[in-house]
Amino acid sequence: MDYFLLKVLLPVLTVAENAEHGGEGEGGAAHIPNFLTFLSQWFHDNVIIQSLHSWENVFFAILTAVLISIFAIISTRKTQMIPRGLQNFMEMLVEGLDNFFGGILGKQGRHLTQFLGALFIYIWCMNMLGLVPGFMSPTGGLAGGFNITVSLALVVFFYVQFTGIKRLGLGGYLYHFAGSPESVVQWVLVPLNLPIHIIGELAKPLSLSLRLLGNITGEDMLIAAFAGLGITALAFMELPIGLPLQVPFVLLALLTGTIQALVFTLLSTIYFTMMLPHEEHH
């Protein structure tokens, strides 16, 4: 019961605290404050805390990476031939992701499953972090979240281009960008196809970042709005809590956060397959 109250009521209390200070989210969007928000209010003159609050998305993104690393170290610290506990879970997770992405990429692109698997886990953990009371999703928020999602998309973009140059060679890479012309007509259309292909390639990281940002930010705003509505519903009783109206949307965020992590990674996988030699992907 205490665990339920911690999960459900603490977000309501933080929204109430935010409302008392007249606080709103970035760009006027409602959001549930995290522990850095309160530390910045309590320690106005502390430069370190104020800096962390200004860069809270980056802070929680780094924190997520550290927590994942700690979990990986603990689960593989004492490996056994017959895995049990965390080692068994980790091996099932790695094998499942490897088979999933490897089946899309094919044999020649199998080495990319390590990157794509780590990318999925990282994005999923960042999406879920915002559902923990006192924390936030680094991939959400109109300003700070955009920096994180764009950074992730740019990493994918440059790795895709690097893979294309490495596997196709510089000449094959440029030939791919020209649309792989084979006939005279296709070569004549190269001046038209080339800029279109370049624009489409540059649009990929923007598409990836905005899709993830918009969905996670929308989830956070929805949860905050219904948490605030729950407080308003019991305002006449002058209680420090409200109705937990946000609970169904927290459960929905578990599903949509997973879907968005999968969509981001799946699209990244497709971008890799498009850059690999044609006979290597299906």
pLDDT digits (tens, 9 = 90+) for 193-240: 888 888 888 888 888 999 999 999 888 888 888 888 887 877 777 766
Which comes out higher in pLDDT, residue 17 or 139?
139
- C-alpha 272: how far from its chain's center? 19
pLDDT at site 126 = 95
pLDDT digits (tens, 9 = 90+) for 74-94: 888 877 777 677 888 888 888
Task: Establish how many alpha carbons lie within 13 A of residue 105's alpha carbon, considering only the half-sphere containing its beta carbon.
Answer: 28
Alpha-carbon Rg for the chain in angstroms: 23
**Among positive and negative, which fits the CA dihedral 136, 63, 92, 84?**
negative
271, two tokens: 């971008």
Among the listed residues 212, 228, 221, the one whose alpha carbon sits nearest the alpha carbon of residue 261 = 212
pLDDT at site 87 = 81
Helix, strand, coil share of the chain (percent; to 5)? 75, 0, 25
For residues 165 and 158, the answer to whether their CB atoms sit within 8 Å is no
Amino acid at 245: L
pLDDT digits (tens, 9 = 90+) for 99-122: 999 888 887 778 899 999 999 999
pLDDT band at 162 (very low <50, low <70, confident <90, very high): very high
Mean pLDDT of 143-149: 86
Q: For 276, which DSSP code?
A: S
Residues belonging to the chain:
282
Q: For residues 60 and 55, what is the distance between their CA atoms, to the nearest angstrom?
A: 9
The owner of tokens 């700690």 is 70
pLDDT exceeds cutoff 90 at 133: no
Q: For residues 96 and 5, what is the distance between their CA atoms, to the nearest angstrom?
A: 34
pLDDT digits (tens, 9 = 90+) for 14-24: 444 444 444 44
pLDDT exceeds cutoff 90 at 61: yes
Task: Establish how many alpha carbons lie within 13 A of residue 245's alpha carbon, considering only the half-sphere containing its beta carbon.
Answer: 16
Q: For residues 198 and 281, what is the distance between their CA atoms, to the nearest angstrom?
A: 22
CB atoms within 10 A of CB 119: 21
Among the listed residues 146, 124, 144, the one whose alpha carbon sits nearest the alpha carbon of residue 34 = 144
pLDDT band at 143 (very low <50, low <70, confident <90, very high): confident
238, two tokens: 């002058």
> In the predicted model, what is the mean pLDDT of the chain?
81
Instruction: Quickly list DSSP for 20-59.
Output: HTT---GGG------HHHHHHHH-TT-HHHHHHHHTHHHH
